[in-house]
Amino acid sequence: MTHPRHTNAYITSAAAWLKTQQDLRCHWCHKQTHLNLRVGHPLKATVDHLIEVDTAPELAMNQGLWVVACWTCNAARGARHVNNKRRRQPRPPSRRW
């Protein structure tokens, strides 16, 4: 199954949604973000999800749950979510010698 964020419908909708936003301040750190920066720039405007897509993929296209985020905050939140998810999974048993 294709990840919801990797579909053309999502990519097109997210880009169009960002262009309609009056205030491009990051929802998390409140820094001004910009649309015309290269991918990976710390102040690049991105779409972030208030409910992680991994948690509820059916809500990925719900624009009511989208917020503007800078690249830095979006990446940090994603990394935190993945790390927390891994922490909750049981570790495989170690080898017995």
The distance from CA 70 to its chain's CA centroid, rounded to whole angstroms, is 10
In a domain, 96, yes or no: no
In a domain, 32, yes or no: yes
CA dist., res. 66 & res. 69, Å (int): 9
Q: Tens digits of per-residue pLDDT, 47-86? A: 999 999 988 999 999 999 999 999 999 999 999 988 888 8
Look at the chain and report how many structural domains it folds into.
Answer: 1
* Domain with 42 in it: 4-87
Q: Reply yes or no on whether the pLDDT at 1 is more than 70.
A: no
In a domain, 15, yes or no: yes
Q: Tens digits of per-residue pLDDT, 18-52? A: 999 999 999 999 999 999 999 999 999 999 999 99
In a domain, 82, yes or no: yes
